[in-house]
């Protein structure tokens, strides 16, 4: 099916393909070199393997999702508890509000201290962890009760301190148990299997295409074919490195650049790439192999089926303390090509598993441009 090249800018900021120069890559990525990155010889520049991510702590409660669930749980417990001694339904909201005003400062103090002490507490064994977290909960319970008495929400009576201490210790123990279960479920074997499946699907597909490209260049341009194979070896060296449960957004961008640089050799001028990167977003932690399957989807569904090719735009920026990643690609006219959606679901599930409600993942298709948007905390 023929396709008329676009002639105007669309809302994603794409430039018309026909108005771009034949070589749309930066000077460092011109045809004079194999690709924009160096060879894999020992004296050449190499991209360092991703730095190992710090081990997660069970006390890592500095997330919006954890705080939100904790606050809702405490309010629910107070609301149910008040039902046992309230005199009428009309007094229930007032009594519940007063109870929450006493309990929430204690809860927030516990969450703040657990967040600040997550490093030392995480290095202790299970027994000291249980003792320290319940003692901390008891102290925060007494703190909240004292604060409520000072502000006039409750009568101060030294003989009553065991009650808030016991309540604080019990709630802290319950939260700690939930945090333990959450930590065990963050990266279960099923998630590891999904990542392995995604990698096994990506690598042969990309490997076969690249090898075919190199074979086609062996007689026409042997030095360039050698460069393609060197670049492929470097790309796979980084992709196969053990990066742990997370890597940085900057490393993921470099991996995506390597992938698209090799695809550029296969598609030539049909593949146009626009990079709009914010260095401040590079430190954000993301799951490994986050961007590569997304840009591969953009090539397969946006560039490959279009005779005139297509445009891919990768953009990163920092907004309100969070890193925003956008991968957009033009889509040829006609009936859309529906894939199985494995890559999109896999990336979405791993992003949400890692960052919980602090992350966002959404897609949008307006008939001309397909866009994936990911938001993660920095």
> Which residues of the chain are modeled with pLDDT < 50?
1-12, 16-55
How far is residue 40's CA from residue 46's CA, in Å, rounded to a whole number? 7
Ordered domains of the chain (ranges, CATH) = 17-54+190-377 (3.30.565.10), 64-186 (no CATH)
Q: How far apart are CA 44 and CA 206, in angstroms?
A: 24
Which pLDDT score, from 0 to 100, does residue 153 have? 61
Sign of CA pseudo-dihedral 90, 91, 94, 97: negative
Q: What is the pLDDT of residue 45?
A: 41
Tell which residue, 15, 12, 16, 21, has the closest CA to residue 4.
16
Q: For residue 347, give Cα distances in angstroms to 53, 191, 259, 341.
A: 19, 11, 17, 10
Mind spelling out the 3-state secondary structure of the chain? CCCCCCCCCCCCCCCCHHHCCCCCCCHHHCCCCCCCCCCCCCCCCCCCCCCCCCCCCCCCCCCHHHHHHHHHHHHHHHHHHHCCCCCCCCCHHHHHHHHHHHHHHHHHHHHHHHHHCHHHHHCCCHHHHHHHHHHHHHHHHHHHHHHHHHCCCCCCCHHHCHHHHHHHHHHHHHHHHHHHHHHHHHCCHHHHHHHHHHHHHHHHHHHHHHHHHHHHHHCCCHHHHHHHHHHHHHHHHHHCCCCCCCEEHHHHHHHHHHHHHHHHHHHHHHEEEEEECCHHHCCCEECCCCCHHHHHHHHHHHHCCCCCCEEEEEEEEEECCEEEEEEEEECCCCCCCCCCCHHHHHHHHHHHHHHHHHCEEEEEECCCEEEEEEEEEC
């Amino acid at each position: 099916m023929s396709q008329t090249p676009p002639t105007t800018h669309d809302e994603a900021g794409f430039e018309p393909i026909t108005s771009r120069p034949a070589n749309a890559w930066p000077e460092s990525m011109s045809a004079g070199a194999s690709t924009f990155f160096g060879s894999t010889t020992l004296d050449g520049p190499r991209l360092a393997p991703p730095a190992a991510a710090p081990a997660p702590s069970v006390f890592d409660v500095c997330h919006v999702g954890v705080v939100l669930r904790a606050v809702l749980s405490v309010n629910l417990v107070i609301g149910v508890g008040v039902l046992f001694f309230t005199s009428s339904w009309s007094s229930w909201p007032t009594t519940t509000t007063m109870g929450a005003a006493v309990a929430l400062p204690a809860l927030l103090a516990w969450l703040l201290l657990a967040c600040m002490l997550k490093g030392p507490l995480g290095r202790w064994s299970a027994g000291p962890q249980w003792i320290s977290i319940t003692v901390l909960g008891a102290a925060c319970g007494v703190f909240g009760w004292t604060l409520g008495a000072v502000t006039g929400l409750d009568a101060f009576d030294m003989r009553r301190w065991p009650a808030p201490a016991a309540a604080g210790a019990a709630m802290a123990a319950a939260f700690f148990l939930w945090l333990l279960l959450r930590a065990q479920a963050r990266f279960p074997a099923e998630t590891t299997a999904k990542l392995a499946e995604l990698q096994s699907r990506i690598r042969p597909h990309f490997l076969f295409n690249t090898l075919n490209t190199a074979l086609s260049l062996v007689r026409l341009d042997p030095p360039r074919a050698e460069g393609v194979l060197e670049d492929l070896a470097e790309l796979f060296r980084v992709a196969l490195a053990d990066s742990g449960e997370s890597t940085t957004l900057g490393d993921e961008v470099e991996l995506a650049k390597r992938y698209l640089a090799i695809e550029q050799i296969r598609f030539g001028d049909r593949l146009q790439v626009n990079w709009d990167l914010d260095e401040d977003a590079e430190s954000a932690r993301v799951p490994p192999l986050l961007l590569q399957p997304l840009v591969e989807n953009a090539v397969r569904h946006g560039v490959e089926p279009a005779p005139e090719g297509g445009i891919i735009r990768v953009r990163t920026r920092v907004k309100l303390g969070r890193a925003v990643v956008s991968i957009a690609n033009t889509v040829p006219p006609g009936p859309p090509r529906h894939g199985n959606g494995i890559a999109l679901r896999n990336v979405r599930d791993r992003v949400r598993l890692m960052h919980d409600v602090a992350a966002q993942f959404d897609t949008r298709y307006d008939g001309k441009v397909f866009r994936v948007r990911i938001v993660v905390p920095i």
